[in-house]
Amino acid sequence: MTAVPHLQIKNLRAKIEDKEILKGLNLEIKGGEVHAIMGPNGTGKSTLASTLMGHPKYEVTDGEVLINDEDLLEMAVDERARAGLFLAMQYPSEISGVTNSDFLRSAINARRGEGNEISLMKFIREMDKKMNTLEMDESFSHRYLNEGFSGGEKKRNEILQMMLLEPAICILDEIDSGLDIDALKIVANGVNEMRSADRGFLIITHYQRLLNYVKPDFVHVMMQGRIVKSGGPELAERLEAEGYDWIKEELGIEDETVNANV
Ligand SMILES: Nc1ncnc2c1ncn2[C@@H]1O[C@H](COP(=O)(O)OP(=O)(O)OP(=O)(O)O)[C@@H](O)[C@H]1O
Ligand SMILES: [Mg+2]
């Protein structure tokens, strides 16, 4: 039996080109849990996602991140993926010349490791099945990765990757942005289908709407590069109704962005 996945972020600080963006962030995610992070623009949400995934632009200056008790920050990007971490990006990249199916198969094989590659037949079967669930046209497997995909198609494609990779900790950065109402339900169904005791989620979103479909266990608010408030689903509902001013007042925060001196 595999252990329940566990991501621990302790007092994480990170900077980009001498500008500190994450300023002492604490968060813990276990298998079976869905955490949502909300927060105004420019408060460091995507930076958190990129830093966890190991984007080379972000330099960690303090703190600790453990995945299943191992030091995540010491791992290369591919090792992080093998450890079970996955990021659906806010702005997925387009890669010309690499077909979606080639990309997906390489990603799966990188995660499975040498000598344990997925057979072509099995890969095609799995991909067809998941594309069906996401109501994606078969032609998307032969197209170049994200090239010319509409905003919503890119988001669906990120979820397709997640479904095929079967990660242990899934970070979804604004997976709902640009989705029409039907697509939102389809993507939410895909996420819900993946929910299980051996998988944890971190869902970054601006809108309560997604959380109506994917019910979070915990909701966190990010300001000034750290989590300033946590609660249950009712917190997201209050934010939708009242915005962020009451939190800023409660905490005495004037500038909620990462530019504030904290
Ligand atoms: N490469 C960079 N160079 C300079 N500043 C950067 C860079 N990357 C991020 N930042 C700054 O860090 C801050 C946080 O950005 P981030 O993308 O993490 O915010 P966010 O909370 O995800 O916002 P949004 O809700 O708009 O997606 C912003 O002010 C942004 O301009
Ligand atoms: Mg962002």
Distance 94 CA to ligand 1 centre (A): 20
Burial of 179 (0-12, 13-18, 19+ CB in 10 A): buried
Cβ–ligand 1 contact at 50 (below 6 Å)? no
Would you state the structure tokens that stand for residue 170, as one six-digit string?
A: 């899934």
Nearest CA to ligand 1 atom 13: 42
Ligand 2 centroid – CA 124 distance (Å): 33
- What pTM was computed for the model? 0.95
Residue 28's region, left for phi above 0, alpha for psi from -120 to 50, else beta, is beta
Please report, for the chain, the start and end positions of each structural domain, with discontinuous segments joined by +: 6-95+168-251
Q: Which ligand is nearest to the CA of 21?
A: 1
Residue with more model confidence, 21 or 78 = 21
Q: 1: CA distance to ligand 2 center in Å?
A: 36
Mean pLDDT of 111-132: 94
The pLDDT of residue 2 is: 60
Q: What are phi and psi of 88, to 5 degrees?
A: -95, 115
pLDDT bracket for residue 261 (50, 70, 90)? confident
Q: Give the closest residue (by CA) to ligand 1 atom 18.
A: 44
Residue 222 buriedness (CB in 10 A; 0-12 / 13-18 / 19+): buried
221: Cα within 13 Å, side-chain hemisphere: 27
Spatial contact of 224 and 262, defined as CB atoms under 8 Å apart: yes
pLDDT of residue 122: 96
pLDDT tens-digit readout, 194-250: 999 999 999 999 999 999 999 999 999 999 999 999 999 999 999 999 999 999 999
**Is the predicted pLDDT of residue 1 greater than 70, yes or no?**
no
Q: Who contacts 114 (Cβ-Cβ below 8 Å, separation ≥6)? A: none
- CB 208 within 8 Å of CB 236: yes
pLDDT of residue 56: 94
Residue 48 to residues 9, 14, 21, 204, Cα–Cα distance (Å):
10, 9, 9, 10
Supply the angle between the helices 181-194 and 120-133 in degrees, to the nearest 10: 130
Atom number of ligand 1 nearest to Cα 57: 1
Q: Is the CB of 46 under 6 A from ligand 1?
A: yes
Q: What is each CA distance from 179 to 102, 193, 254, in whole angstroms?
A: 25, 19, 32
How many angstroms from the chain centroid is the CA of residue 65?
Answer: 16
Q: Which CATH superfamily includes the segment(s) 6-95+168-251?
A: P-loop containing nucleotide triphosphate hydrolases (3.40.50.300)
